[in-house]
């Protein structure tokens, strides 16, 4: 059999045991084109992954297209050299989803797209159907374990499991896919999310950034900060953290909640009411969006991820560890794969304010040497397992798998036309 080594620039027929190609096969087409589809480019792990992969595709010499319905981070992909196409792929309206099929199919044909990579359920349905009748290959990334409340919801969710390859962002998500959808394990690739360690590193944060952020937040001088990043949505567990802060009964500890309500004004009001009811107005503050998260992590002593529902992966634990901060997260979902208990952080039962309060107290009681040791171990753990470069490299490998399948026929035809016996033996 001929073995292929495929990069994004050429397909080579390789000798099975040699590093040099037997022959280069010229690809009689433009450079490979990958189109990612995501509802919009705002804050979030899926969006960050899309942006990172788009930039890597361009660096690799491929054509990168991102289809989404706007978002404040669109300029990032444009600066990286990708093409942005605005479509209402965020809509779950069946009529809009149906119309998106023809819109996407036209893009696939006009721009000769090789791989269509959907990152959400509604656009996955449109993209799956749009690939019909084209040469494009369809794949997906499952970013979360979606709720299944019945047969109809299971069917709707199943679009994310219908790719020729399906990326699961954790082993937890992989198990969810295998247990709930008709998908073979051989078609799943587990690729953990990654953090940009050149950005999320203590040495990358200038002191001036810390001073400016501290002034913006009006933090008390010399206070110990417990920080919880995450959009204001109930399952993130803000109310559990507020209960834990009330149980701490420490006036020297200040809690900062970072995240937008994204239109959930009622929930924000509920959080504010809980703060007031527990007499924590002077110790808990909702900051809103923060554009400089590395500096925010550096201001903190303890970082909390209190999700009451399991997260598919969760970026907060790896970002906090990359910054050498003490991290406490709930003991389910992706956090079980990213935190080494009592070595790089702590895991507590979800929804348990008492356990969370005890873990915060334990983290605050560490000596400077113990905190430094744990922080160093956490930074090494992330650098070895959860970097952006590792994530994009593994995603490029999945694209290469699909491109290899797509372009294998010319190689097979070449092998079939080999006439000399020595070359036949070398290719077998």
Q: For residue range 191-209, what is the model confidence (pLDDT) as tens digits?
A: 999 999 999 999 999 999 9
Tokens of 97: 């989803």
Amino acid 425: pLDDT: 39
| Whether the predicted pLDDT of 225 surpasses 60 | yes
Same domain for 338 and 400, yes or no, is no
- How many domains is the chain built from? 2
Amino acid 407: pLDDT: 80
Same domain for 259 and 373, yes or no, is yes
Amino acid 82: pLDDT: 96
Residue 30 pLDDT grade (very low, low, confident, very high; cuts 50, 70, 90): low
Same domain for 147 and 239, yes or no, is no
| Whether the predicted pLDDT of 310 surpasses 90 | yes
Domain presence at residue 285: yes
Domain presence at residue 32: yes
| Whether the predicted pLDDT of 4 surpasses 90 | no
| Whether the predicted pLDDT of 47 surpasses 50 | yes
Domain presence at residue 183: yes
Q: List, for residues 165-191, the tens digit of each pLDDT value.
A: 999 999 999 999 999 999 999 999 999
Amino acid 421: pLDDT: 41
Domain presence at residue 391: yes
Domain presence at residue 17: no
Pairwise CA distance, residues 236 & 13, whole Å: 50
Amino acid 42: pLDDT: 86
Pairwise CA distance, residues 169 & 214, whole Å: 34
Domain presence at residue 13: no
Same domain for 146 and 262, yes or no, is no
Mean pLDDT on 313-339: 96
Amino acid 408: pLDDT: 75
Same domain for 189 and 208, yes or no, is no
Domain region containing 266: 202-385
Domain presence at residue 325: yes
CATH number of 267's domain: 3.40.50.2000
Same domain for 41 and 182, yes or no, is yes
Amino acid 409: pLDDT: 58
Same domain for 212 and 170, yes or no, is no
| Whether the predicted pLDDT of 53 surpasses 90 | yes
Same domain for 168 and 218, yes or no, is no
Q: What is the rounded average pLDDT for all residues in the chain?
A: 88
| Whether the predicted pLDDT of 23 surpasses 80 | no
Amino acid 12: pLDDT: 39
Residue 18 pLDDT grade (very low, low, confident, very high; cuts 50, 70, 90): very low
What percent of the chain clears pLDDT 70, i.e. is strictly above it? 88
Same domain for 58 and 154, yes or no, is yes
Mean pLDDT on 385-400: 95
Domain presence at residue 19: no
Q: List, for residues 405-415, the tens digit of each pLDDT value.
A: 888 755 444 34
| Whether the predicted pLDDT of 319 surpasses 60 | yes
Same domain for 180 and 223, yes or no, is no
Same domain for 67 and 112, yes or no, is yes
Mean pLDDT on 7-31: 42
| Whether the predicted pLDDT of 216 surpasses 80 | yes
Pairwise CA distance, residues 28 & 16, whole Å: 24
Same domain for 243 and 380, yes or no, is yes
CB contact at 8 A, 334 and 314: yes
Q: List, for residues 245-276, the tens digit of each pLDDT value.
A: 999 988 889 999 998 887 888 999 999 999 99
Mean pLDDT on 106-126: 96
- CB-based burial of residue 169 (10 Å sphere; 0-12 exposed, 13-18 middle, 19+ buried)? buried
Amino acid 376: pLDDT: 96
Amino acid 367: pLDDT: 95
């Amino acid at each position: 059999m001929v073995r292929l080594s495929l990069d994004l620039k050429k397909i080579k027929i390789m000798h099975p045991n040699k590093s040099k190609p037997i022959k280069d096969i010229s690809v009689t087409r433009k450079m490979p084109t990958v189109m990612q589809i995501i509802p919009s480019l705002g804050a979030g792990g899926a969006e960050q992954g899309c942006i990172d992969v788009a930039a890597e595709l361009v660096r690799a010499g491929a054509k990168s297209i991102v289809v989404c319905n706007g978002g404040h981070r669109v300029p990032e992909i444009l600066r990286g050299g990708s093409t942005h196409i605005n479509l209402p792929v965020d809509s779950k309206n069946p009529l809009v989803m149906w119309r998106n099929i023809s819109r996407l199919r036209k893009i696939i044909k006009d721009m000769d797209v090789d791989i269509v990579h959907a990152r959400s359920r509604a656009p996955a349905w449109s993209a799956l159907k749009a690939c019909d009748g084209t040469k494009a290959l369809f794949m997906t990334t499952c970013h979360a374990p979606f709720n299944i409340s019945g047969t109809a919801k299971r069917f709707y969710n199943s679009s994310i499991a219908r790719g020729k390859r399906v990326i699961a962002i954790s082993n937890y998500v992989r198990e969810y896919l295998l247990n709930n959808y008709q998908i073979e394990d051989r078609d799943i690739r587990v690729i953990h999310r990654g953090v940009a360690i050149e950005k999320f590193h203590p040495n990358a944060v200038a002191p001036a950034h810390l001073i400016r952020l501290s002034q913006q937040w009006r933090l008390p001088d010399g206070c110990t900060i417990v920080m919880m990043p995450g959009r204001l949505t109930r399952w993130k567990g803000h109310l559990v953290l507020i209960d834990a802060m009330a149980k701490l009964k420490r006036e020297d500890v200040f809690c900062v909640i970072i995240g937008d309500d994204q239109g959930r004004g009622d929930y924000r009001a509920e959080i504010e009411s809980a703060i007031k009811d527990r007499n924590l107005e002077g110790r808990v503050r909702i900051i809103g969006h923060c554009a400089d998260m590395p500096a925010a992590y550096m201001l903190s002593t303890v970082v909390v991820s209190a999700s009451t529902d399991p997260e598919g992966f969760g970026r907060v634990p790896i970002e906090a560890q990359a910054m050498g901060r003490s991290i406490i997260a709930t003991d389910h979902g992706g956090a079980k794969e990213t935190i080494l208990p009592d070595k790089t952080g702590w895991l507590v039962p979800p929804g348990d304010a008492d356990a969370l309060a005890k873990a915060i107290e334990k983290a605050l009681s560490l000596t400077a040497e113990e905190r430094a040791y744990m922080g160093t171990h956490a930074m090494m753990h992330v650098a070895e397992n959860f970097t952006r470069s590792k994530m994009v490299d593994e995603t490029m490998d999945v694209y290469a798998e699909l491109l290899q399948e797509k372009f294998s026929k010319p190689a097979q035809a070449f092998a079939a036309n080999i006439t000399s016996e020595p070359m036949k033996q070398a290719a077998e």
